[in-house]
Homo-oligomer: A and B are copies of this chain.
Amino acid sequence: MVSSLRLPALTSLFSPSFTRRSTVSLRRRLHLRPPLAAGFSAQSAASSPTETEDRVDSKKSGRVQDRGSTDRVITPRSQDFNAWYLDVIANAELADYGPVRGTMVIRPYGYAMWEAIQDYLNVKFKETGHSNMYFPQFIPYSFIEKEASHVEGFSPELALVTIGGGKELEEKLVVRPTSETIVNHMFTQWIHSYRDLPLMINQWANVTRWEMRTKPFVRTLEFLWQEGHTAHATLEEAEKEALEMIDVYTKFAYEQAAIPVIAGRKSKVETFAGADKTYTIEAMMGDRKALQAGTSHNLGQNFSRAFGTQFTDENGLRQHVWQTSWAISTRFVGGIIMTHGDDAGLMLPPRIAPVHVVIVPIWKKVDEKTGVLDAASSVAETLKNAGLKVKLDDTDQRTPGWKFNFWEMKGVPLRIEIGPRDVSSGSVVISRRDIPGKQGKVFGISMEPSILEAYVKDRLDEIQSSLLQRAISFRDSNIVDVSSYEELKEAISLGKWARGPWSASNADELRIKEETGATIRCFPFEQPQGTKTCLMTGKHADEVAIFAKSY
């Protein structure tokens, strides 16, 4: 039954008209964009005239400014990265400013990206032995003061509740900036003996940090995150856990978000307030600034000593537990936008995209409309049944040209166009978001469900890995190996990341920050072979560090 259904479609695949197109397009499919290292030149949809122009009613100039009276223009990314970022967030309806300074409303399209992050990580956390739970967000102020470096790090950023139920409170309450203190308060009640260990939990929650300079997703007064907290009987177990979780984040970044982060250890200066060691994943954004995209902390016994979180070991002795904490937040959504977007707007890796495929039906005459819409619905149904997220944009209040630009701007990985000629030939036209214009467009893909489904899924896989490869090339061509402070300064002044051997002091590290604006992002886990000489002091160094300006 299936094979007989396939036959006509396979035949049409080699019909003369298709062959002409497909030869060209097959070549084009292999023709990726030039390496991004060549610079982010403008590549708007407008700059690539496409076959679309003779297919649609009123192709506008191709830029988003034609979207109507309430629409805004997207600043080209190459012109002003920050303005572009804010324009994309507004136009793609990812987020909006809340009424309180520094707060953000996460709109459905942006929230769906966060849900994709949650869905993946939530499974991984459970697979690695963690249970979800929930701690109250109000923390007695005295808790924050118990761990010395913690209070120093967080007290300038706290939001405090001082009135409850109409009355002044005896002790003011901290709206959680992170939960180590309240977690330890509870762990102390739950942990008695070594049999209660390891205790491994996670919570999905909102947190508040009174940031002065905010930016949607990247740094907001309130944000959403997950925070894992674990307690172990030994330092070794805690260290293993902290490393395992940074590895979960690294795999997530590469495989789902197509972001080739560099994983490593933070310098002492950059370590979390209350941790012995902080591991991090650092991502290079499109403007080549670094984004700390996730961290995992080995807390040692700092909090267990402050809160008296002890257990009786197998020999009957009381010991303080060894702990970790680790987090990824809605900041990661900002990282995805700034890694993959281009002048036309968002560009989403399929595994994060709220919509995999948008279908745009195209008709000129009224008598064409029904046939085109029927075919479009049927294609949508086919792809939905295949488990894909599909949007059929069948409004007649917008032109196909407008829709092309709009969904490109929203970063949808694939677009399917269906016009009257496609209906006759039982085929569709498919365009890739990551390859603009003619190059990314293939004609005559059969509508036959199994062929279409396989084709679309293959293209989504290709886009997923193509975005990652592109980001890897971009990253690698923007990291400079340096062996002196002069070379470091030059690299940073060119907007690049500098990688060089480092064994100098905290004071030297702070001086670099002051003089160049760059900080040590991490000592990467992957270290070059051979002996190393500190770029600052000329003395022996065990490791190279990566320096960069960051968000």
Contact = CB atoms under 8 A, between A and B. Distances in A.
A530 interface: no
A179 to B, nearest CB: 10
Give the interface centre of A104, A159, A164 by most chain B CB atoms within 10 Å: A164
Nearest to A166: B156
Interface stretch (A129-137, A440-448, A507-515): A129-137
Interface in A79-125: 96, 98-100, 103-108, 110-112, 114-115
Given A161-B159, A162-B163, A165-B210, A112 B100 contact: no
Q: Number of contact residues on A: which range applies?
A: 35 or more
B201 A137 contact: no
A172 interface: yes
20 contacts: A100-B136, A103-B138, A106-B134, A107-B133, A108-B131, A108-B132, A111-B131, A111-B134, A112-B132, A136-B222, A138-B208, A138-B221, A156-B165, A158-B164, A159-B161, A162-B162, A164-B210, A165-B210, A166-B210, A205-B206
Contacts of A134: 105-106, 111, 114, 224
A159 B166 contact: no
A535 interface: no
A189 interface: yes
A37 interface: no
A163 B172 contact: yes
A457 B100 CA distance: 51
A492 to B, nearest CB: 30
A212 interface: yes
A157 interface: yes
Contacts of A182: 98-99
A450 B222 CA distance: 50
A108 B201 contact: yes
Interface of A: 70, 96, 98-100, 103-108, 110-112, 114-115, 131-140, 143, 155-166, 172-173, 175, 182, 185-186, 189-190, 192, 195, 201, 205-206, 208, 210, 212, 221-222, 224, 397
B139 A99 contact: yes
B189 A96 contact: yes
Contacts of A157: 165
B131 A112 contact: yes
Contacts of A112: 131-132
Contacts of A132: 108, 111-112, 115
A157 B163 CA distance: 10
A165 B161 contact: no
Q: Which 5 A-B pairs have the closest CB atoms?
A: A165-B210, A108-B131, A103-B136, A98-B136, A160-B163
Nearest to A131: B108
A460 to B, nearest CB: 21
B115 A133 contact: no
Contacts of A189: 96
Given A104-B136, A138-B222, 6 more contacts: A99-B140, A138-B221, A159-B164, A160-B163, A162-B162, A175-B175
Given A112-B131, A166-B156, A175 B201 contact: no
B99 A185 contact: yes
Nearest to A142: B99
A158 B165 contact: yes
A103 B140 CA distance: 12
A416 to B, nearest CB: 23
Contact of A163 (B131, B159, B222): B159
A195 B137 contact: no
A315 to B, nearest CB: 17
Given A115-B132, A136-B222, A163-B172, A99 B143 contact: yes
Nearest to A195: B397
A239 B132 CA distance: 37
A132 B158 CA distance: 28
Given A140-B100, A189-B96, A195-B397, A161 B135 contact: no
B173 A100 contact: yes
B192 A70 contact: yes
A105 B205 CA distance: 13
A96 B163 contact: no
A284 to B, nearest CB: 27
A33 to B, nearest CB: 32
A252 B132 CA distance: 22
Nearest to A220: B136
A182 to B, nearest CB: 7
A99 B188 CA distance: 12
Contacts of A70: 192
A36 B549 CA distance: 69
Contacts of A137: 206, 222
A201 B43 CA distance: 35
B136 A108 contact: no
A233 to B, nearest CB: 16
B105 A135 contact: yes
Nearest to A185: B99
